[in-house]
Amino acid sequence: MSSGQNNVVVAMPPGKQPAWEATVRLNVEQASYAYHSRGNAAPVFTLAATSFTARQREIVTILGPNASGKSTLLKLIAGTLEPLSGRVELEGFETSRLSPRTRAQRIAMVHQESPLLFPTRASEYVLQGRHPHGRGLRFETGEDLKIAEEALAQVGATHLRDRWMHEVSGGEKQRVILARALAQQPILLLLDEPTLHLDIGAQVELLERLRHLASENRYTVVVVTHELSLAAEFADQVVLMHHGKCLRTGTPAEVYRRDLLEQVFEAPLDVEMGPEGRPRVHVRGARPPAES
Binding site for another protein (CB under 8 A): 78, 80, 100-105, 107-109, 111, 113-121, 123-125, 127-129, 131-132, 134, 136-140, 145, 162, 184
Smallest distance, another protein to C-beta of residue 104, A: 3
Task: Tell the smallest beta-carbon distance from residue 75 to another protein (Å).
Answer: 10
Q: Which is nearer to another protein, 80 or 217 (CB)?
A: 80
3-state secondary structure the chain: CCCCCCCCCCCCCCCCCCCCCCCEEEEEEEEEEEEECCCCCCEEEEEEEEEEEEECCCEEEEECCCCCCHHHHHHHHHCCCCCCEEEEEECCEEHHHCCHHHHHHHEEEECCCCCCCCCCEHHHHHHHHHHHHCCCCCCCCHHHHHHHHHHHHHCCCHHHCCCEHHHCCHHHHHHHHHHHHHHCCCCEEEEECCCCCCCHHHHHHHHHHHHHHHHHHCCEEEEEECCHHHHHHHCCEEEEEECCEEEEEECHHHHCCHHHHHHHHCCCEEEEECHHHCEEEEECCCCCCCCC
Q: How far is the CB of 109 from another protein (least distance, A)?
A: 4
Nearer to another protein, 144 or 236 (CB): 144
Closest CB to another protein among residues 54, 108: 108
CB of 210 to another protein, least distance (A): 18
61 vs 123, beta carbon nearer another protein: 123
Least distance in angstroms from the C-beta of 158 to another protein? 14
CB nearer another protein, residue 66 or residue 118: 118
